[in-house]
Amino acid sequence: MQLTIYGTNTIKEAVLSGKLRKTVYASEKKWKNGLIDKDLLKLIKAKSVKIEIKNDNIFIKEFGKEAFIKGIAATVEYNEKQYEELFESKDRRPPFYLILDEITDPQNLGSIIRTANCSGISGIIVPKSNSIFITSSVANVSQGALFYVDLVRVTNIARVIDDLKKRGVWVIGLSADSEDDIYSMDYNIPLAVVIGSEGKGLRRLTISKCESILKIPMVGNVNSLNAGISFAVMAYEVLRQRTYNKKTD
């Protein structure tokens, strides 16, 4: 699908990842005022990507007001991965999948994709219905990380969980209602973590399919974290165990 992207970091990663090879567009006003990042311009030139200056009104019409604030935009082809492609990786580390159970906030999804790339996620699985997918806003919030993370859509999350378990993947759901916390388990195994929706959390059927339900300990007055932060806390505990614990053993 055609995807409009904008902003210095997102354009930079699109160029570096090879997803953007043709033309980058800059707003006339930002260009004349020298507000386009100089290092990005050097990268664009080094990669032989064309840069075209557009009248501000035309720029806004083609790319939107959010893109105009950033001053630089482009259109790329985003190729959605298929579910089976998640299992073609040659990475020797145990796989670590993320399942998002009806996340609808583009800010959350963009943040989650960025964290997923930083923490070594093998792939993100989302349902085709009642869920946000890749948009310009998601791409911007992810700061270009979407070009490095495999994101797939599936018809039925419950069936996917069953399939992952058959493949030897241990499936964990995050819920504040659990008695066991995320620090009570060894994550040096093939793993999938399920994060529920922003308002309702995990659905009952999803909970019933998970092999473990764990919570993030809370000591303050507020008893919940948003989906993006919850995933980040969990992801970095997995990374700590898999990478940094080994250095001190």
Q: What is the pLDDT of residue 62?
A: 95
CATH number at 40 reads: 3.30.1330.30
Q: Note whether 96 and 152 are same-domain residues.
A: yes
Q: Which runs of E-coded beta strand occur in the chain?
A: 2-6, 23-27, 50-54, 72-77, 96-100, 123-127, 151-154, 170-174, 191-195, 212-214
Q: Note whether 31 and 144 are same-domain residues.
A: no
Q: Summarize pLDDT for 46-98 with one digit per residue, the tens.
A: 999 999 999 999 999 999 999 999 999 999 999 889 999 999 887 788 999 99
- Which domain covers residue 192, as residue numbers? 83-248
Side-chain-side CA neighbours of 36 within 13 Å: the count stands at 25
The number of domains in the chain is 2
Lowest-confidence pick of 4-8, 89-93, 165-169, 204-208: 89-93
Residue 153 predicted with pLDDT over 90: yes
Q: Note whether 239 and 121 are same-domain residues.
A: yes
Q: How confident is the model at residue 130 (pLDDT cuts 50, 70, 90)?
A: confident
- To which H or E segment does residue 149 belong? none
In angstroms, what is the C-alpha Rg of the chain?
20
What mean pLDDT is predicted for residues 180-208?
90
Phi first, then psi: what are they for 5, rounded to 5°? -125, 155
CATH number at 172 reads: 3.40.1280.10
Identify the DSSP state of 107. Answer: H
Q: What is the pLDDT of residue 224?
A: 74
Nearest partner of 211 among 249, 247, 164, judged by Cα: 164
Q: What's the start-to-end Cα distance of the chain, in Å?
A: 47
Q: What is the pLDDT of residue 146?
A: 96
